[in-house]
Structure 1
Amino acid sequence: MDGTHIPASVPTNEQMAYTNRHGTQSQNVLAVCDHDMRFVYVYAGWEGSTHDARVFESDCECTLTSQFHPQVRQLVFISGKYYLVDAAYKMMPGFLAPFKGGRVSRVGQGRGRGQGPKELFNTRYSQLRNVVERSFGVLKQQFAYLKGPVPYSYMQTQINVVIACCALHNFLRETQPSDDHFMQYEQEDIQVQAEAGGNPYPNIQPLAVPPHEIAAWNAMREEMANQMHAGSRRRRFTSSYGLRQIYNKP
């Protein structure tokens, strides 16, 4: 899960609200993709000045109170599964964020050597989650409209175009697996510049999630990181022991 900015064309009296941190007008789009670079959820239309975390909170509010927001498609929660979100989003049940302050190594760098549990977790987490950044990269390469400039039209029309492009993106992914754009971004180690939403820890009103649920979710992440680190150490020890056996053979 992540947010991306799509250029927007709005009346003069609305430009301030749609002006993002780069000084241009855009709509902030929240999207979820699967590991095959297909979009499974799109929430478009927020003003460009809105922080990713605020869009996320609004989306969750609509999901948690969907009877009052029937026009918003709900996120689907499956037991044992969770959405990967970055540090800009709230860590709570159903959403897994990285540890704040933990370093992230590049893909293949050191293979976890010298990393503590949190650092190793963040590195592997980043390797998994960059699929959403690669998906945005493909989407904008496929449809020049999404890179601007955008001709003036009603905002609802601009929102519909974004959603239609995401649907066409999925269609191309399923019917044209050898598409040049997908082939370019299919490599997991490709470096794609993420679109930060500004201050990663904004002062916004948190969702009403019981503290004990958040504590349990944080404890689950800690345990996951510890098990991951222990497994990495065991593999390194086994590999090192095997090499010693080979080289010490009479």
Structure 2
Amino acid sequence: MSPAAFMKLCEKLRSTGIVKDSTKATIEEQVAKFLHIVGHNVKNRTVSFFFHRSGETVSRHFHNVLRAIISLVDEFIFQPTGLHWAIDGTHSRVKVRRADAPRFRGRKECTTKNVFAACSFDMKFTYVLTGWEGTASDSRILKDALSREDSLVIPEGKYYLGDAGFPLKAGILTPYRGVPYHLKEYSTRGGGNEPYYSFPVMTDIFIACCILHNYLMGVDVDNQIIAEVDQELQQRGIDRSSTNQRDEMKEDSKMMKGKNNRDDFNQQPKDMMRWSEEMDLALLNALTEEAHKGNRHDSSWTTEAYNNVVELLRTTIEGHITKQHIKNRMKTLKENFGEAYDLFNSLSGFAWDPITRKFEAEEEVWDALIKEKPHAVKWKRMCIKNYDMLKDLFGVDRAKGKTSGTGKEKKKRWEKEKEKEKEFIDLNDNFEDIGMHEPESNYVEETPLFPSDFDAFSPSQSNQSNGTNATRGAKRKAHVAEATESQYEKVSVGIDAIAEAVKDGNNLSEKLYQVVERQVIVAERQVTVAERQMDIAEKELTIIQQSRPRHYSESDVWNVLTDLGINNNCKMDCYRFLCANDLKKRELFGVLPEMRLQALIDMMAEANKK
């Protein structure tokens, strides 16, 4: 950045009113500290030593400049009306809590955030959406970017160029799937250094860097760097063309070899498996058991977990099941579950019904959702199998995107927060900015002990001299008192702002309480419906049991003959007769116990006649 561009940037930041000059730190110094931290990824401690400032002062100046730069987003990041642009996603390292790490650790070894950006062919950013977790796919972030308040606009008849990670749809032009693009560029990318700031601050820093990039492309274009980048891309293109030629030769040889093999042997079909609902349930139960054993670390399953699941499923399910079968099925289940989870997880007014396996809500709630998101109409009648188990297994590690946002959305949110405050509290004001001076305790006005002109000396003149010293001391004390009173006034304003925020929080709590009450009513209705369904199921089961014919074993026949008191000579004959004739056996057991002896005598007499 040239000195002229630096001074112009400082003037723009001064015009925002967020960054101000103080008695000990000018705007130029504050901006220089910010650029040094962002450009070299240094710690706060290093900058405080270099600029001879405390760590608190450096941190305060850094965040003030950061917010001031983001406030310029409307001026430097906007969506033009050109012919075509390009979109892509990139991963940037972040520092998050260990509990949140699985949502940020995708294909990379470290925790990252996925940043979605659109740029024009004059090397300027036109749209930046940051804050999504590293496990979120590019297609999912694109879907979110098209439906946000500050959405990505695709004019009719125009299109964006994207990579294979985006879906092929109207306005998005993706490459042909059969060709590997940019493999050399991907292989040379690194993970980057670990950041020193928290995840929310890193999202703001990324947006600020995009704004600074667009600013420099307009006022201070470095043609030398652009030429170096172009030369590097051309060299990569030459290397990539030679690599593609070798790959094509290998592919041709494989195709010829495969053709010869097909001429000699019949090609074996792929090892495909069709999963039923019972097989899915067995798989989820096995995975849940392995998770309880501790064979899952940061959303990744250990080799022992896969081996145990394969062994268990082979004993319960017919067929040859491999580890790859389980991985493929888990991927399919996660994709189907993720669509429903992303839609209903953060919505109020919906409750999951495990009996009907659907999300239940009032009609007006469904109508509002379908009006906002028409694709949600299918979930009104579609069942979701094993949703509870899938939520326990994969819901925690699912990317939510709650911290995502664009620069315009952040600016709008800060403006709303500012409107709630009665008076803007300047973060630049501090006791160090006030011109407070130590009283000159050693100051003594030199006056002769014995004046040469005794006649000119009078008590009034002496009193006047003492009054001058007293006035100076009073001015110093008044200056300190005014400064202290000013700070107390600012603290009072801050307390009032906190009180207003607490009041707003109470209003929000009341609204949330009303929503919870409605959900409780819906849950009670669902419990009543479930109880009725259970009663109906019990009655149906009783009817089925009563209508089903009962099977009487040989031991039951022998016990009945013993209870009737038949002597041993006739007991064996009656036993053989009843065991050989199922109809007579059911007839005997169908009569009352006190009438069974007479019924048996009649049966035996009738048999003897025949």
For 2:90, give the aligned amino acid. T
The separation in 2 between residues aligned to 1:171 and 1:183, in whole angstroms, is 19
Q: Is 1:31 the equivalent of 2:76?
A: no
CA-to-partner distance for each residue in 1:55-97, whole Å, 9 max, x for gaps? 122222x2xxxxxx43xx2222223321011121111111111
Residue of structure 2 equivalent to 1:50: 136
Residue of structure 1 equivalent to 2:76: none
Residue of structure 1 equivalent to 2:156: 79
The separation in 1 between residues aligned to 2:221 and 2:211, in whole angstroms, is 15
Q: Is 1:149 the equivalent of 2:194?
A: yes
Q: Stretches of 4+ moved more than 6 A in 1? A: none
Counterpart of 1:159 in 2: which secondary structure?
Answer: helix
Q: Is 1:7 the equivalent of 2:51?
A: no
Residue of structure 1 equivalent to 2:10: none
CA-to-partner distance for each residue in 1:85-110, whole Å, 9 max, x for gaps? 11211111111112221476x9xxxx
RMSD of aligned Cα (Å): 3.4
Residue of structure 1 equivalent to 2:234: 189
Shift of 1:189: 2.8
The separation in 1 between residues aligned to 2:223 and 2:180, in whole angstroms, is 35
208 and 84 in structure 1: CA distance in 2 versus 1, 3 angstrom threshold? farther
The separation in 2 between residues aligned to 1:27 and 1:33, in whole angstroms, is 19
183 and 24 in structure 1: CA distance in 2 versus 1, 3 angstrom threshold? same
Q: Which has the higher helix share?
A: 2
Larger Rg: 2
Equivalenced residues, count: 155
The separation in 1 between residues aligned to 2:106 and 2:145, in whole angstroms, is 20
The separation in 2 between residues aligned to 1:182 and 1:20, in whole angstroms, is 32
Residue of structure 1 equivalent to 2:255: none
The separation in 2 between residues aligned to 1:16 and 1:103, in whole angstroms, is 29
Q: Is 1:161 the equivalent of 2:205?
A: yes
Counterpart of 1:29 in 2: which secondary structure?
Answer: strand
Shift of 1:186: 3.6
For 1:151, give the aligned amino acid. Y
For 1:169, give the aligned amino acid. H
The 8 Å contact of residues 27 and 46 in structure 1, kept in 2 or not, is answered as yes
Residue of structure 2 equivalent to 1:99: 176
The separation in 1 between residues aligned to 2:161 and 2:116, in whole angstroms, is 13
99 and 52 in structure 1: CA distance in 2 versus 1, 3 angstrom threshold? same
The separation in 1 between residues aligned to 2:145 and 2:335, in whole angstroms, is 17
The separation in 1 between residues aligned to 2:107 and 2:100, in whole angstroms, is 16
191 and 56 in structure 1: CA distance in 2 versus 1, 3 angstrom threshold? farther
In structure 1, list runs of 5 or more residues that go unmatched: 63-68, 107-129, 141-145, 193-201, 210-250
The percent of aligned pairs where both chains have the same amino acid is 29
Counterpart of 2:100 in 1: which secondary structure?
Answer: helix
For 1:36, give the aligned amino acid. D
190 and 6 in structure 1: CA distance in 2 versus 1, 3 angstrom threshold? farther
103 and 28 in structure 1: CA distance in 2 versus 1, 3 angstrom threshold? closer
Residue of structure 1 equivalent to 2:470: none
Shift of 1:15: 1.0
The separation in 1 between residues aligned to 2:132 and 2:235, in whole angstroms, is 29
For 1:19, give the aligned amino acid. R
Residue of structure 1 equivalent to 2:556: none
Counterpart of 2:99 in 1: which secondary structure?
Answer: helix
The 8 Å contact of residues 87 and 97 in structure 1, kept in 2 or not, is answered as yes
